[in-house]
Structure 1
Amino acid sequence: MRTQEMALITRDALLLPDGRLELRLVSPNHLKMIADVYKGKYPLAFGMLKANGNPPCYSSVTQCEIIDFNQLDDNSLSIVLEGKQRVKILSAARQRSGVWMARTLPSCNWSEEPIQGEFELISAALEQFYEVNPDLFELYSNVHLEDASWVSQRWLEVLPLYNKDKLKLMNQPDCHQTMEFVLELIKSHAD
């Protein structure tokens, strides 16, 4: 496996493989970075914000692609990112422009697996969550409610958990612990 340099964008949010997230960019430095990503100078990675961190995110980040963008009325830029590959930050440095660049190494994405038995409840609950939150649902052209990994990762992205707790779940070798956690959460609120 070889390392790769990536531009780093951070927010207090989580983006995992096959997930989508809409961001608003105002800073000229970030706009220039996005232009450089489009020109193929380097790939883009999205990291979950870590307070007082150096770099300003946890070391597990997701390489992503910009799949859509719009200029907003206030001249800021709205971009939609799609997560592709989990990567680990080996080192990072802040450029004079204020943009962070990171040396990364690929990590394993969770494998697809069918959602079965009582875990179908977390899939149905996610479908209901998207019905109540159409702005999130509209980001997806395809939903994979039959795939346990896809469903688990979408729950991690939207659950109101501390980032360090999300990190513990997402750093597991597969989606099973996340599925158990979400199922217990749903059952505890159903009583």
Structure 2
Amino acid sequence: MDLPKYAVTTIFILITNFYTTGILLGHSMNKIALYPSSTHLLPGGRAPFTLIEKRHLRMLKESLTNGTPFALCMINESEELNELKQIPAIATLCEVINFDQNDSGLLSIVVEGTQKIRLSGISVDNDGLMQGDATLYPNWQSAPLAQADQELAEKLKLFYQTMPEIGALYPAPLWGDVSWVCQRWIEVLPLEAHYKQLLIAQDTAKLTTRFLHKLFHSPEN
């Protein structure tokens, strides 16, 4: 999916005219293991991963043993994991819903996003596993998809038809929930992480719906 330059301009215009920050829930957590990835995940989303490095295998083992989540952090595709200078503030707690050993003998997992968090500090363990100090950040509440926004769900259905490996992750998609639909779009759109952070920092999906309508009706599309 090609993202026209017009879309980036649009998001700046919308953010300038319609920017509100989210409200912290104010509940601090213990340190959370962090998994930076260019595969982006938000609450209600699902994604497969293959774990190779020992630090991430330890992360998974401790998560399953202790019944604690870890957090997926957004990075851009161009960023190297071992050369990260910073991590975006908003990450997503996730839980493992399936795991298996692939044909290469590597461990493959499927995770589901459950809750947004805001990171306030990061430390690195001896083996390179990142740990974050986190505060719960409010998830978008479920809301009916308005008739004027039906296009967003229909286009997402078409996208999943062209990417069946993603569509198969959702046996019961919530097409009638505007928050669910918008978050699935944010996950798959080829926007840089800092643009996505501006969208998910909002209290609701309202800004994302406006952005998506502008994007789908831009002259380049």
TM-score, scaled to structure 1: 0.93
1:13-35 per-residue CA deviation (whole Å, 9 max, x = no partner) reads: 21100001111111122112211
Question: Structure 1 residue aligned with 2:53, among 27, 33, 37?
Answer: 27
Q: Identical aligned pairs, as a percentage?
A: 30
User: Residue 217 of structure 2 aligns to a residue in which SS?
Assistant: helix
For structure 1, the residue ranges without an aligned partner over 5 or more in a row are none
**2:93 corresponding residue in structure 1:** 63
**2:211 corresponding residue in structure 1:** 181
- Following TM superposition, the consecutive aligned residue runs of length 4 or more in structure 1 with deviations greater than 3 angstroms are 50-54
**1:13-162 aligned within 5 A:** 13-40=39-66, 42-49=68-75, 51=79, 53-54=84-85, 56-162=86-192
Give, in whole Å, the separation in 1 of the partners of 2:220 and 2:209: 16
TM-score, scaled to structure 2: 0.81
**1:170 corresponding residue in structure 2:** 200
Q: Is the 8 A contact 1:7 1:42 kept in 2?
A: no
Give, in whole Å, the separation in 2 of the partners of 1:108 and 1:43: 17
**1:8 corresponding residue in structure 2:** 34
CA drift at 1:43: 2.3
CA drift at 1:3: 2.1
Q: Which amino acid aligns with 1:3?
A: M
| CA spacing shift, 1:89–1:171, aligned 2, 3 Å | same
Q: Which amino acid aligns with 1:36?
A: E
Give, in whole Å, the separation in 1 of the partners of 2:134 and 2:59: 17
CA drift at 1:42: 3.9
1:93-122 per-residue CA deviation (whole Å, 9 max, x = no partner) reads: 110011111111100001111111221101
Aligned residue-pair number? 190
| CA spacing shift, 1:163–1:144, aligned 2, 3 Å | same
| CA spacing shift, 1:121–1:102, aligned 2, 3 Å | same
Give, in whole Å, the separation in 1 of the partners of 2:151 and 2:63: 39
Q: Which amino acid aligns with 1:141?
A: P
Q: Which amino acid aligns with 1:15?
A: L
**What is the CA RMSD across the aligned residues, in angstroms?**
1.7
Give, in whole Å, the separation in 2 of the partners of 1:75 and 1:189: 47
Give, in whole Å, the separation in 1 of the partners of 2:200 and 2:67: 29
Q: Which moved more, 1:143-152 or 1:96-105?
A: 96-105
Q: Which moved more, 1:69-78 or 1:181-190?
A: 181-190
CA drift at 1:4: 2.4
For structure 2, the residue ranges without an aligned partner over 5 or more in a row are 1-26
